[in-house]
Amino acid sequence: MAKSPTTTDHPSVICTVDVALLTLKHDALHVVLLKRQAEPFSGIPALPGGYVHAQEDKTAWDAAARVLRDKASIVSPYLEQLATYSGAERDPRGWSVSIVYYALVPSDVLEPGHEDVMLTPVSRLPKLAFDHKGIIELAVSRVRAKSQYSSLPVYLCSEPITLPRLQAVYEAVLGESINKVSFRRKMDELGMLEPVEGEMEAGGAHRPAQVYRLRKEFRRELSIVARGINS
Amino acid sequence: MAKSPTTTDHPSVICTVDVALLTLKHDALHVVLLKRQAEPFSGIPALPGGYVHAQEDKTAWDAAARVLRDKASIVSPYLEQLATYSGAERDPRGWSVSIVYYALVPSDVLEPGHEDVMLTPVSRLPKLAFDHKGIIELAVSRVRAKSQYSSLPVYLCSEPITLPRLQAVYEAVLGESINKVSFRRKMDELGMLEPVEGEMEAGGAHRPAQVYRLRKEFRRELSIVARGINS
DNA sequence: GGAATAGTGTCTCTAAGACAGTATCTA
DNA sequence: TAGATACTGTCTTAGAGACACTATTCC
């Protein structure tokens, strides 16, 4: 065991972060991909990512947030660690570590402008750089699993929200229809929404829906229930 | 963006793995701790861990398996990634990444011999090196959560197993008693056990218990149920 | 036979789903 | 008023827990 106080005995590890930035478009999960500008995999779509900047980032989470800010102009999304991919084979430059995060945003915070930004349905992924295809698949399955028993999908919605729209979001994420009564019981149990008194969402030839907002306690924190939404 | 083909633009990141090795002793979860031999935190208990050896380890998982082999003589435990801890503050040597794994073993595969090996109840953790206390707490909560709806606790048992003993293991992990009928229904639903025909575990002044073994499909793979064991 | 634990049959209770009813808007 | 969707009341059904009963061993 070395006792070199400041620097590395084993410097030959590349340390990066990548972010699977997910959103909902046309009732389907999409992921943000960027065409790579540099080798390796130049020109191939990849997740937004980059080196950890030890001088600048306090943690890998901060590095992921910086990547989102710089490459997608996203400022404070729901951002959580997914897993860490590592090994000698995944990057031709050498033994690499990628600490991977996933983020959820409402589609309206994505700027349409950017060149090279591809908003791609997760069910139709093209060839991707590195092991990013497997990463996205893991991210999607994680989001599906957490959506079963938590308020996670609200981060795909812009506020304020109505229960019918939120149910459509859950159904899009989970890929199956949900019983309306059960869904509303579950949202009540989650306790994350509060009605905005008197506010209704009109806009159709039908009864308007009650408007809700997310309680402050759940703006950055998930709400969890013991038994999931479907079986 | 750099295009240096083999080495690092940002070399000043320390890359390590740590393992939360958990077992059951006296019906309580315990974690294996080692007194650190070197600075920093020399003499303080810590999780078994070490540098990633880029020449030797194909992935971080392999590094974790090597650490277990070298430091605890554990050969093929259930070993799964927990999370990655990173940042400038957690290690006085500099900006560090620790890819953390957790492992479950039956207590009888732990060699009692080793000096400096402390088998410590997770409910009575001493002062620990680095951020290892928080890591252990996360590992325990992850194991508890997964045990609700999966066969994870079987990795804490040595085979062959009986249902009464397995129920005691689940109860120890979850920290609450489980209805016997429900538990047996759930084990049946998990479908991971097969009875060893004719084999009974005697050893008391009472009816002997049917002996089961783990089906081959589940030796390295969890079995999952949709609805958890308790509510 | 008595004590102890293994294993099972069955009733109750809770929670999820089905379904239909009422409410409230536009055209 | 017709049509559409929001919301709610309530019945049905499925799964989890309670409890008691039988089974099998040792003493």
**Beta strand segments in A75-217, E:** 78-87, 96-104, 117-121, 161-162, 193-201, 209-214
Give the type of residue at B55: Q
The whole-number pLDDT of residue A171 equals 98
Residue B219, burial from CB neighbour count under 10 angstroms (0-12, 13-18, 19+): middle
Which DSSP category does B105 fall into? -
Greatest distance between any 2 Cα atoms in chain B: 73
Residue of B7, B51, B84, B222 to mutate, interface with A, max A Cβ within 10 Å: B84
Residue whose structure tokens are 């938590």: A150
The whole-number pLDDT of residue A1 equals 39
For the beta sheet containing B193-201, the strands, ordered from the edge strand earlier in sequence to the opposite edge, are: B161-162, B209-214, B193-201
The whole-number pLDDT of residue B8 equals 44
Give the type of residue at B39: E
| Gap between the Cα atoms of B77 and B215, Å rounded | 17
Give residue A6's pLDDT band: very low, low, confident or very high (50, 70, 90): very low
| Gap between the Cα atoms of A4 and A13, Å rounded | 17
CB–CB of B15/A13 below 8 Å? Answer: yes
Sorted by sequence, the CB contacts under 8 Å of residue A115 that are 6+ apart come out as: none
Of A83-87, A108-112, A219-223, minimum mean pLDDT range = A108-112
Cβ of B179 less than 7 A from strand D: yes
Q: State the nucleotide closest to A209 in CA–C1' terms.
A: D6
pTM of the model: 0.93
What are the tens digits of pLDDT across the range A122-142? 999 999 999 999 999 999 999
What are the tens digits of pLDDT across the range B145-204? 999 999 999 999 999 999 999 999 999 999 999 999 999 999 999 999 999 999 899 888
| Gap between the Cα atoms of B25 and B181, Å rounded | 26
| Gap between the Cα atoms of B38 and B43, Å rounded | 8
Other C-beta atoms lying within 10 Å of the C-beta of residue A230: 15
CA angle (B18, B124, B134) in 5-degree steps: 40
Of B74-78, B84-88, B111-115, minimum mean pLDDT range = B111-115
**CB < 8 Å to B14, chain A:** 8
Residue of B4, B6, B7, B8 to mutate, interface with A, max A Cβ within 10 Å: B8
CB–CB of A78/A155 below 8 Å? Answer: yes
| Gap between the Cα atoms of B100 and B68, Å rounded | 12
Q: Which of A38, A54, A226 is opposite residue B88, by nearest beta carbon? A: A54
Structure tokens at A114: 């950017």
Q: Which of B4, B59, B86 is opposite residue A99, by nearest beta carbon? A: B86
Nearest chain B alpha carbon to A94: B6
**Residue B6, φ and ψ in degrees, nearest 5:** -120, -35
Which DSSP category does B224 fall into? B
Which DSSP category does B108 fall into? G
What are the tens digits of pLDDT across the range A183-201? 999 999 999 999 999 989 9
**Residue A141, φ and ψ in degrees, nearest 5:** -70, -35
Task: Tell me the C-alpha to C-alpha distance, in Å, between residue B40 and each of B36, B43, B99, B130, B205.
Answer: 8, 9, 18, 9, 54
CA of A160 to C1' of C25 (A): 20
Give residue B11's pLDDT band: very low, low, confident or very high (50, 70, 90): low
Structure tokens at A71: 């490459």
Q: State the nucleotide closest to A185 in CA–C1' terms.
A: C16
Q: State the nucleotide closest to A225 in CA–C1' terms.
A: C15
Residue B31, burial from CB neighbour count under 10 angstroms (0-12, 13-18, 19+): buried
Contact criterion met (CB < 8 Å) for A10 and B52? yes
